[in-house]
Structure 1
Amino acid sequence: MSRTAAILLAAGSGRRMGADVADKILAPLAGLPVFAYSAKAFAASGVIDHYAITYRDQRQLTALAAHAPTPSVLVKGGRERQDSVMNALAALPDDIEYVFIHDCARPLILPEQLRALHKIVRREQAVILAQRVADTIKERRAGDTFRTLPREALWAAQTPQVFARDLIVRAYQRVAARELRITDDAAAVELLKQPIAILENPHPAPKLTTPADFAWLEFLLARHHATVTESAAQATAR
């Protein structure tokens, strides 16, 4: 039986938070550390056999360990996101066949989405969570000229991104060999000309980037909780 791991990325510096937030992954969000939402969703999904959690420093290590799902290994993060991913990949047990990679600055992931991604990756070998782009996107070219990109072909990539373990390892080996800098894992897999499936996310799932994002995320969490409560009440009434 195939085993699946989740790499939970928590070692980012959060530079755009400025001095207002010491560590956005440990900052309180509606009463819980931001990290706890990702940890709880993955644990509730029932599809993960092992966790590799990246951390930045000793303070993070201690705090993350308190909320880590089991079984987990905590892995020192690297200078860049891709370095943290490669460190975590190297720390996985040999029998892992599929790997989720998730930025814990995205706390609104749902267990049912994780189960759907797990089903797709076993068929397609690579799948990402993404949303259709609603805005008109302009590409700035030479001077002050612009080109309008076809909106119907554009997707905003999110996480988790999920891959067959041998595929993502080979992809990151290619990244390292070419000394490339990438900002998401699908970009590494694209170097291998591997098709990547998309699971469309119909729900808002912003990334915690600036202090202003806390209020928006708390609103979305409250709305989701109200929807779940209402659905449960309706089910009980039936």
Structure 2
Amino acid sequence: MVSYTVVIPAAGRGKRMGADENKLMLSLRGKPIVTWTLEVFDTDPWCERMILSIRPEERDWFEAMTAHMKTSVTYVSGGEERQQSVYEGLKVVAHDTIVMIHDGARPFVTHEQLHRVAEAALHGGAILAVPVKDTVKQVEHHHIERTVPREKLWLAQTPQAFQAQAILNAHERAAEQKIMGTDDASLFEWLGESVQVVLGDYHNIKMTTPEDLLFGDAILAKEDLQ
């Protein structure tokens, strides 16, 4: 067993979702999206602690949503950007543990996937990812410049896992030099560190647009039938 702490940035807004509120508060089958996500970690015996980076004005809501959970929950104030929220969460993680960073809007990750990523992180950075299935075009002004070979292309997911001190160092350096990464692994790569890809699942989608709520409902319906 590899014990870990998870940092979940949860201070965003639902712009692409078209929501007036934090998209994590939106309902999926009668339960907030973030609750589905947190319950995956709360029921994983490998997870020792959950750290949520939130907007202070939403703390009461989050505390009510996690009141029934057994895993320790710590709240920190998030930033304007996801990277800043993650950084604030990493500051309160014990330096000698494995830390996972996971999107609060990705509720369909499984315990088996969490465990494989945690084990891989003992030897460096590790992320869940899936191979690109579609043909990829590089486009400029609505015209194709080239077709990108997809054999080596993967779609990054979360969680992304690291030795806590190592990823904290990466975030500290990035903050000092005002570097914004596309994800946490990109900051690790920027420092020349190795990141291993662990095969994920196409069901591990991120709730980003209104259509994703339909996909999420379909995934839950399929699980109910199994």
TM-score by length of 2: 0.91
Residue 105 of structure 1, CA deviation: 0.8
Corresponding position of 1:83? 84
Corresponding position of 2:55? 56
> Take 1:110 and 1:201, find their aligned partners in 2: how far apart are those partners?
10
Residues 13/97 of structure 1: CA separation in 2 closer, same or farther (3 Å cut): same
Corresponding position of 2:169? 170
Residue 100 of structure 1, CA deviation: 0.4
Name the stretch that deviates more: 199-208 or 7-16: 199-208
Residue 119 of structure 1, CA deviation: 1.6
For residues 65-106 of structure 1, what are the alpha-carbon distances to aligned partners after superposition, in whole Å with 9 as ceiling and x for unaligned?
223342111111101000001111112245x42100001111
Letter in 2 for 1:86: Y
Structure 2 residue matching 1:6: 3-state secondary structure: strand
Corresponding position of 1:235? none
> Where does the alignment leave 5 or more consecutive residues of structure 1 unmatched?
228-238
Residue 57 of structure 1, CA deviation: 3.8
Higher helix proportion (structure 1 or 2): 1
How many residues are matched?
A: 223
Corresponding position of 1:10? 10
Structure 2 residue matching 1:103: 3-state secondary structure: coil
> Take 1:131 and 1:90, find their aligned partners in 2: how far apart are those partners?
30
Letter in 1 for 2:73: S
**Is the contact made by 1:174 and 1:191 (CA closer than 8 Å) also made in structure 2?**
no
Residues 119/211 of structure 1: CA separation in 2 closer, same or farther (3 Å cut): same
> Take 1:48 and 1:10, find their aligned partners in 2: how far apart are those partners?
18
> Take 1:179 and 1:164, find their aligned partners in 2: how far apart are those partners?
22
**Is the contact made by 2:6 and 2:101 (CA closer than 8 Å) also made in structure 1?**
yes
Letter in 1 for 2:133: A
Letter in 1 for 2:84: D
Percent same amino acid at aligned positions?
33
After superposition, residues 101-116 of structure 1 pair within 5 angstroms as 101-116=101-116
Residue 221 of structure 1, CA deviation: 1.3
Residue 37 (structure 2) pairs with residue 38 (structure 1): yes
**Is the contact made by 2:13 and 2:21 (CA closer than 8 Å) also made in structure 1?**
no
Residues 143/135 of structure 1: CA separation in 2 closer, same or farther (3 Å cut): closer
Residue 151 of structure 1, CA deviation: 0.2
Residues 215/39 of structure 1: CA separation in 2 closer, same or farther (3 Å cut): same
Corresponding position of 2:27? 28
* Structure whose alpha-carbon radius of gyration is higher: 1
Letter in 2 for 1:160: P
For residues 210-230 of structure 1, what are the alpha-carbon distances to aligned partners after superposition, in whole Å with 9 as ceiling and x for unaligned?
222211101111212322xxx
Letter in 1 for 2:120: I
Name the stretch that deviates more: 79-88 or 191-200: 191-200
TM-score by length of 1: 0.86
Structure 2 residue matching 1:188: 3-state secondary structure: helix
Name the stretch that deviates more: 129-138 or 173-182: 173-182
For residues 42-83 of structure 1, what are the alpha-carbon distances to aligned partners after superposition, in whole Å with 9 as ceiling and x for unaligned?
12221111221111242x211222233421111111010000
> Take 2:180 and 2:125, find their aligned partners in 1: how far apart are those partners?
20
Structure 2 residue matching 1:49: 3-state secondary structure: strand
